[in-house]
Amino acid sequence: MSFDFAVILAQGPKILSGIVVTILIWVGGNVAAAVLGFLIATLRRFGGRGVDVLLQVPIEVIRGTPFLVQIFLLYFGGPYIGLRLDPITAGFIGISVYGAAYYAEIFRAGYRSVPVGHVEAAECVGFSRNQIIRFVLLPEMALLVLPPSINMAIILLKETALLSLITVPEMTMTVSAIGSQQYAFVEALVVLALVYWALVEVANWLGRIAERKLSKLSA
Amino acid sequence: MTWKLFSLLLEASLMTLLVSSISILVGLGIAIVLSGMRMSGNRALFAITGVFISFFRGVPLLVQLLLIYNLLPVLGLTLPSLATAIIGLSLCTAAYQAENLRGGFEGVPKGLVESAEMAGFSPVQTFIHIRTPIALRMTFPALVNEAILILKSSSLVSAIGLIELTKMAQNLAASTYMPLPIFASAGVIYLAINLVVAWLGRRAENALPGLPTK
Amino acid sequence: MRKHFLAALAGAAVTLGSTVVAQADALDDVMEAGVLRVGTETAFAPFDFIDAGTHTGLNTDVFAAIGEEMGVEIEWITLDWTGVLPGLEAGRFDVVAGPATITKERAERYRFSSPIAEATVAILACADCDIEAPEDIAGKPIGSATGTAQLKQLQEFASTLDTPPTEINEYVSFNESYADIAAGRIEAVANSLPNIAFVAQQRPEVFKVVTPAFGTPTYFGYPGRIEPEFATLMDKIDEILLAMKEDGRMAELQEKWFGTTFDMPDYVTEPNI
């Protein structure tokens, strides 16, 4: 068995477009997931016991089922209830919702980590709820929620590979298609491994920078 | 969706449980060894664990599995699908578990370690008898979380020839052409398994001894 | 140091060992092991599928006959289709059941068995869609599976139409394309006749087959390794397949699984595509 990477790399533009689609859905979906997760955690923190319990249900359902099953039902089942999404939109929504369930738990742990006394003190000096979230809770939990958030971003990147199932032209789809057309299967796998690995390392690197800045701020 | 189809899914979920549970345990063993290597003070060992963890966290599991499956025979080692799947899943979860354990090892009170050393424990003995049990206890919730993630990721081993829950769903969808009820049922089974795992995890956590304070 | 050297040596020996085995005669190896390893996917009805929990289809019947004639056991290795041809090249199994459309390009890479069914491409449409002839896909969204010979033929056919289809979606497998017809996103899928006839027969309320076939005549064969040491094994399989065609067993199996029989050449030497 000999390896020939040239036949894969000759398709540079196609690979590049796959990488771009992957990055766009990953970054967009991840940001949306974090925002949505934060909103859910905030609702649960301040919305009273009823809201807290009610929101637990979708979170458990989403965290308890594989992304593959969710995306399949969303894309192929959606039209039966009048929800006809194009592949990229469905992929973006799928990633956002899946990620949001995990981010909601990350931020919930963050809210819990802040001592009640700090919130009470802020209330005493007349801070509004928004001000408390912005100036007390968020800064105090930032260092704690950062590592699991980076972890989550990495998990979401790898889940985007499943979007080929719903015809999103992301990089797993484009590179493995080139691999089978050129009969360079293993080479295609190696290329995919390297690109994902590189993207993950970039995410880790950004995470470490953010961590360092944050710990300087809070020091 | 007939009972017959549903019972086939249930049967296939046994394979999901088998592969995931073995991989979680083997992965935990590897993760502890990796942590030991990382804390050994040996630079080479430290670097090796770094690359290992970075690779297995950085490359999608599907790509890892296909590489192991198609590259090992080229090197003259042809393992059956089940063994390949367990190796792949174990290595991947080991990398994540080693990361989880890191926080636990960092949280082991220094005083405990020092008193163990004063009592004549070797570094290896301290690692096995003092550090590891405490780190495991501290990161137990993360272990339960990882177990759920692996249960879900195990659907990818279908790509290398194992018929587990997701593969059975795909097979049944491909012969009945009614994919939606079948995938929805598979989702329900995954959810049920994971809720039970989470519940067992909480019970186990309450039953475990408390943590030493700093 | 010595230890490392020995380990390296052992590694080299293992590699060498496998090369030596690969050089030997594949038919002898199979007979000696008493096992023929067959790689396939199980989501390709009616060739290979899971019916009520049992792996079944034309392939299991044909290979049961091959195993019987050769006096060996058949060991099935079932993967996703994307993993099947790589698995063959990696030496995971001796032959692929699949089957695959015999094309010029593939014939340079694999040794195909004598054809076992017609693979000519036709249109599967939604039951209540306004598609009665292949040309009716003009101006409509359609699809096929990515990287397949069927997709290529669909694209060529579409380019001959005055109004091209609005979209030609590419799916990871045909099963997702069927699901997308059911979901209403596309109106038709191009795939080989035996496959889509089975789909429409299973769910006539959702799908219908649009005749005639639009593609050039093509055939399904079982892909095997092209290297010389596999020639004897593939010759043996061909010998059995040809005997089955001769004495009517193949026609019987085609009737059983496709509800029809196909006229097929003994060998496809000049694929049309």
Tell whether C192 and C164 lie within a shared domain: yes
Residue C20 pLDDT exceeds 80: no
**CATH assignment of the domain containing C101:** 3.40.190.10
Q: Which two tokens stand for residue C46?
A: 């009616």
A21-35: per-residue pLDDT in tens? Answer: 999 999 999 999 999
Minimal CA–CA distance to C43: which of A191, B179, B3? B179
Residue B183 pLDDT exceeds 70: yes
Window 173-192 of B, Cβ < 8 Å to C: 173-180
Query: Cα–Cα distance between A74 and A82 in angstroms, integer?
Result: 11
B179 — pLDDT class (breaks 50, 70, 90): very high
Cβ pair A154:B70 closer than 8 A: no
Question: Does the beta carbon of A77 lie under 8 angstroms from any beta carbon of chain C?
Answer: yes
Boundary of a domain, candidates C171, C193, C210: C210
User: Within 13 Å of residue C57, how many CA atoms lie on the same side as its CB?
Assistant: 27
B30 — pLDDT class (breaks 50, 70, 90): very high
Q: Are C254 and C262 in contact (CB under 8 A)?
A: yes
Cβ pair C86:B75 closer than 8 A: no
Within a 10 A sphere around the Cβ of A102, how many other Cβ atoms?
Answer: 23
Contacts of B149 in chain A (CB under 8 A): 155
User: Within 13 Å of residue C3, how many CA atoms lie on the same side as its CB?
Assistant: 0
* Dihedrals phi, psi of C54, to nearest 5 degrees: -110, 135
Question: With respect to CATH, is domain B15-164 assigned 1.10.3720.10?
Answer: yes
Contacts of A183 in chain C (CB under 8 A): 85, 89, 109
Cβ pair C179:A173 closer than 8 A: no
Contacts of B65 in chain C (CB under 8 A): none
Window 55-84 of B, Cβ < 8 Å to C: 66, 69-71, 73-78, 81
Q: Which of C49, C79, C91 sits opposite B171 (nearest CB)?
A: C49
Tell whether C227 and C184 lie within a shared domain: no
Q: Give chain C's domain count.
A: 2
Contacts of C185 in chain A (CB under 8 A): 79, 84
Residue C87 pLDDT exceeds 60: yes
DSSP state of A76: I
Q: Is there a cis peptide before residue B212, judged by omega within 30 degrees of 0? A: no
| pLDDT on residue C23 | 57
C186 in a domain, yes or no? Answer: yes
* Dihedrals phi, psi of A174, to nearest 5 degrees: -70, -45
Contacts of B69 in chain C (CB under 8 A): 83, 87, 90, 92
C11 in a domain, yes or no? Answer: no
Using CA coordinates, name the residue in chain A closest to B52. Answer: A197
B86-132: per-residue pLDDT in tens? Answer: 999 999 999 999 988 988 888 888 888 899 989 999 989 999 998 99
C248-264: per-residue pLDDT in tens? Answer: 999 999 999 998 898 88
Tell whether C191 and C244 lie within a shared domain: no
Question: How large is the C-alpha radius of gyration of chain A?
Answer: 21
Cβ pair C52:B73 closer than 8 A: no
Using CA coordinates, name the residue in chain A closest to C173. Answer: A165
* Dihedrals phi, psi of C191, to nearest 5 degrees: -155, 170
Cβ pair A167:C169 closer than 8 A: yes
Q: How far is CA C62 from CA B52, C26, C48, C222, C244, in A?
A: 46, 20, 11, 11, 9
Query: Cα–Cα distance between C134 and C209 in angstroms, integer?
Result: 10
**Cβ contacts of residue A177 below 8 Å, gap of 6+?**
C146, C147, C170
Q: Is there a cis peptide before residue C46, judged by omega within 30 degrees of 0? A: yes
Using CA coordinates, name the residue in chain C closest to B9. Answer: C53
Tell me the mean pLDDT in the region B163-182. 92
Q: For chains A and B, what is the number of CB pairs under 8 angstroms?
A: 92
Tell whether C28 and C101 lie within a shared domain: yes
Within a 10 A sphere around the Cβ of C6, how many other Cβ atoms?
Answer: 10
Tell whether C231 and C113 lie within a shared domain: yes
Query: Cα–Cα distance between C233 and C229 in angstroms, integer?
Result: 8
Q: Are C58 and C99 in contact (CB under 8 A)?
A: no
Tell whether C107 and C223 lie within a shared domain: yes
C166 in a domain, yes or no? Answer: yes
B211 — pLDDT class (breaks 50, 70, 90): low
Query: Cα–Cα distance between C13 and C140 in angstroms, integer?
Result: 59
Contacts of C15 in chain B (CB under 8 A): 75-76
Tell whether C176 and C247 lie within a shared domain: no
| pLDDT on residue B75 | 82
Give the distance from residue C22's alpha carbon to the nearest chain A alpha carbon, in angstroms: 11
| pLDDT on residue C15 | 43
**Cβ contacts of residue A120 below 8 Å, gap of 6+?**
none
Query: Cα–Cα distance between A199 and A179 in angstroms, integer?
Result: 21
Cβ pair B170:C78 closer than 8 A: no
Cβ pair C147:A180 closer than 8 A: yes
Domain boundaries along the sequence of chain B: 15-164
C148-177: per-residue pLDDT in tens? Answer: 899 999 999 999 999 999 999 999 999 999
C270 in a domain, yes or no? Answer: no
Question: Does the beta carbon of A167 lie under 8 angstroms from any beta carbon of chain C?
Answer: yes
Residue C49 bridge partners (DSSP): C43, C56
Residues of chain B above pLDDT 70, percent: 98
Question: Does the beta carbon of A73 lie under 8 angstroms from any beta carbon of chain B?
Answer: yes
Residues in chain A, pLDDT under 70: 1-2, 218-219
Cβ pair B174:C78 closer than 8 A: no
Within a 10 A sphere around the Cβ of A24, how many other Cβ atoms?
Answer: 15
Question: Does the beta carbon of A3 lie under 8 angstroms from any beta carbon of chain C?
Answer: no
Minimal CA–CA distance to C190: which of C117, C141, C263, C223? C141
Contacts of C11 in chain B (CB under 8 A): 75
| pLDDT on residue C257 | 94
Q: Which domain holds residue C130?
A: 121-210
Cβ pair C43:B170 closer than 8 A: yes
Boundary of a domain, candidates C210, C237, C266: C210
C144-155: per-residue pLDDT in tens? Answer: 998 889 999 999
Give the distance from residue A88's alpha carbon to the nearest chain C alpha carbon, in angstroms: 13
Tell whether C130 and C92 lie within a shared domain: no
Is residue C44 helix, strand or coil? strand
Minimal CA–CA distance to A96: which of A178, A25, A19? A25
C3 — pLDDT class (breaks 50, 70, 90): very low
Tell whether C34 and C114 lie within a shared domain: yes
Give the distance from residue A152's alpha carbon to the nearest chain C alpha carbon, in angstroms: 26
C10 in a domain, yes or no? Answer: no
- Give the position of tokens 């029989």: C261
**Cβ contacts of residue A33 below 8 Å, gap of 6+?**
A95, A96, A97, A98, A99, A100, A102, A103, A152, A156
Contacts of A3 in chain C (CB under 8 A): none
Residue C7 pLDDT exceeds 70: no
Q: Which of A60, A155, A197 sits opposite B59 (nearest CB)?
A: A197
Interface test mutation site (partner A, options C19, C167, C172, max chain A beta carbons within 10 A): C172
Residue C224 bridge partners (DSSP): C95, C111
Cβ pair B166:A66 closer than 8 A: yes
- Give the position of tokens 């694929």: C271
Domain boundaries along the sequence of chain A: 6-218
Is residue B80 helix, strand or coil? coil
Residue B40 pLDDT exceeds 90: no
Query: Cα–Cα distance between C113 and C230 in angstroms, integer?
Result: 12
What ipTM goes with this model?
Answer: 0.87
* Dihedrals phi, psi of B37, to nearest 5 degrees: -65, -40
Question: What is the signed CA dihedral for C102, C103, C106, C111, rounded to 10 degrees?
Answer: 40
Q: For chains A and C, what is the number of CB pairs under 8 angstroms?
A: 44
Query: Cα–Cα distance between C142 and A161 in angstroms, integer?
Result: 24
Question: With respect to CATH, is domain A6-218 assigned 3.40.50.300?
Answer: no
Question: Does the beta carbon of A6 lie under 8 angstroms from any beta carbon of chain B?
Answer: no
Q: Which of A1, A60, A68 sits opposite B195 (nearest CB)?
A: A60
For A29-55, give the DSSP string: HHHHHHHHHHHHHHHHHHSHHHHHHHH
Strand C223-225, strand C110-112: pairing: antiparallel
